[in-house]
Amino acid sequence: MSDTDKVFAGSIPEIYDTYLVPLIFEGYAADLARRVAETSPKQVLETAAGTGVVTRALAPLLAKDARYTVTDLNPPMLDRASKQQSADARLTWQQADALKLPFPDASFDAVCCQFGVMFFPDRVAGYREARRVLKPGGRFLFNVWDRIEENDFAHLVGETAAAVFPNDPPRFMTRTPHGYHDKAQIEADLREAGFSKIDIATVQKTSTAPTARHPAIAFCQGTPLRSEIEARDVGALEAVTARAAEAIAGRFGEGPVSGKIQAHVVVAKN
């Protein structure tokens, strides 16, 4: 994984939240929130919270006396998340590295992470940290994207960007968001971290957008793919976005557009 894969700064958090969150994240956030809340945890930690889509879905499902600590490595993303959330005394916002959590052992009933573990430079270390801060019997819940070929818009945008730069194709989408989809590898990493009870479910959903340009903006300008494009040609961002929109329109129509998305949802226990 490139160092730039973890950089969500500048205008990326706003575009990410405005375009990408409703496009691909909201449905899985509701699913993950429901799974976390079903055991009525009183102490919850969220890592790699991004702009807070899971937080907005999960907070209303928790008890009035629950405590919910929301963290992310990137302050700009966490700032965006906190501003989007209504006032709630149960919530604490804190910048934190999921691989070096600043919390005591056995602090939480549940740890959750929405599409974040793919960005961990050492996933086993991140899983060990989640296990360390869990109370006995606690649960670690997270999701990861399935292979990019199972995710229509991401696949098409990635192919378009690669076609613009054939000698040095941007590979962020395949390398990182969709680069950790092997269920056997995920289970092996969790077991190496000390988890013994692991359930992995593959969940398919439909991604919808009002226009073909919407997903093109979401992926080209609201993710670190933007940094890869600009590193190759600082003036090419709009051109690549336009070509991606044309490709989506060619396959799915001008809009509204719908495409398949698919992810794995993981629940691990000590």
Q: What is the pTM of this model?
A: 0.93
Query: What CATH number does the domain containing 53 carry?
Result: 3.40.50.150
CA distances in angstroms from 127 to 96, 124, 222, 240, listed in the order given: 15, 5, 27, 36
- Residue 200 burial (CB < 10 Å; 0-12/13-18/19+)? middle
CA distances in angstroms from 130 to 43, 168, 214, listed in the order given: 13, 37, 35
- What residue ranges of the chain have pLDDT lower than 50? 3-9
Tell me the backbone φ, ψ of residue 219, rounded to 5 degrees. -85, -40
229: part of which helix (H) or strand (E)?
helix 225-232
DSSP state of 44: E
Count Cβ atoms below 10 Å from residue 150 Cβ, excluding itself.
17
* Two tokens, residue 239: 């051109």
Report the domain count for the chain.
Answer: 1
35: part of which helix (H) or strand (E)?
helix 26-37
| Full domain range(s) for residue 188 | 3-269
Using the structure block, give the residue that is written with the tokens 């990019």: 148
The one-letter code for the residue type at 83 is K
Q: Cα(140)–Cα(130) distance, rounded to whole angstroms?
A: 7
**What sign does the dihedral 148-10-56-210 (CA atoms) show?**
negative
Q: Which residue from 21, 223, 19, 204 is spatially nearest to 114, judged by alpha carbons?
A: 21
Query: In this predicted structure, what is the pLDDT of residue 5?
Result: 37
Count Cβ atoms below 10 Å from residue 251 Cβ, excluding itself.
13
Output b/e per residue, 98-112; b: 16+ Cβ within 10 A: bbebebeeebbbbbb
Using the structure block, give the residue that is written with the tokens 């937080």: 55
Task: Find residue 57's DSSP bridge partners.
Answer: none
pLDDT in tens, 186-218: 999 999 999 999 999 999 999 999 999 999 999
Query: In this predicted structure, what is the pLDDT of residue 146?
Result: 98
CA 128 to the chain's CA centroid:
19
